[in-house]
Amino acid sequence: MRAHLRSEKANPGFTLLEMSMVILVLLSLMGTGLFVTRKYDQWRLGREASEVLRTVYSAQRMFLADNPTRLVSSLTAAELIPYLPNNATTMPTVRSLTGTNLGIIVTSSPPTVNAGSNVVYDPSGSNKDSLWDVGE
């Protein structure tokens, strides 16, 4: 009779503690995934910005090779547009971390992202990491 009672008590279901642990693990995995995805998106935006800046830098150097007496500080975006690849008709822009479109400062070499009033936009904090800048 005692053996029969023991088999009834051995329930293969989850306890409340086990279910709580599973939910906690799932929530932590989801949080980690969201954090990593957000950081990857920020890195991707910075990488795209550096590629755009490299393109403008290349156009800047080609223009200056054709016009060796011009100073970089006197360049305009309209002068560089014919030197951009793929027959571009406008100067490319860069998307910031907040989703706004930012222009390019072409009066410095290498060019930089314009955060407004010719203030350099570089949320990475380094001008040597090739994110949000041309780098070295």
Per-residue pLDDT tens over the stretch 64-107: 999 999 999 999 999 999 999 988 899 999 999 888 999 999 99
Work out the mean pLDDT of the chain and round it to a whole number: 86
What pLDDT score does 29 carry?
Answer: 92
Confidence of residue 11 (pLDDT cuts 50, 70, 90): low
DSSP the chain: -HHHHHHHH---SPPHHHHHHHHHHHHHHHHHHHHHHHHHHHHHHHHHHHHHHHHHHHHHHHHHHH-TT--GGG--HHHHGGGSGGG-SS---EE-TTS-EEEEE-SSSS-EEE-STT-B--TTS-SSSSSSS---
pLDDT at 116: 85
Q: What is the pTM of this model?
A: 0.74
